[in-house]
Amino acid sequence: MSAYQYTQNGYFLSTDKTLLQIAIIHRFLADKSYWAKDVPKNIVEKSINGSLCFGIYWKDQQVAFARVISDFATFAYLCDVFVLEEHRGKGLSKWLMEKIMQHPDLQQLRRFTLGTKDAHELYRKFGFREPDNACNNMEIRIADIYTKMKQENAE
């Protein structure tokens, strides 16, 4: 899969995984996200290896991230989307979503899903909505798995 690159207002967006700054991604997910609190670094690395990743950079620092898990034919799941606090309010989340939705390998999917607690309005702008038949969806979810792992390892 080819890497895609774009620039806007001094920012650089790329799908090149070699540019990803794992320490920044891990720190945000483990310390600041509600969905991956305490996630171990090796889990972040493994998740990146199995995903199509998008990074936004300001100068030499990564300031935003998102990843998509997909078979690139029928289904995709968008996750781990964030913009570092000091770079918010500059339209980066919209630009990131625009490029994700335009990515050539993510076109004509039957289903594109995500989970969010607080960014519904952003995702609605790109066509996402609550499922018609939410009762048809099922999941296995282990709440706070990484925090529990961290506590068990500390004992």
pLDDT band for position 39 (cuts 50, 70, 90)? very high
Residue 115 makes CB contacts below 8 A (sequence gap 6+) with: 35, 79
The model's pLDDT over 79-127, given as tens digits with 9 standing for 90+, comes to: 999 999 999 999 999 999 999 999 999 999 999 999 999 999 999 999 9
What is the CATH code for 5-154?
Answer: 3.40.630.30
- Please check the confidence at residue 155 and state whether its pLDDT lies above 80: no
**Sign (positive or negative) of CA dihedral 91, 44, 102, 117:** negative
For the chain, domain boundaries: 5-154
pTM over 0.85: yes
Q: Compute the average pLDDT of residues 135-139.
A: 83
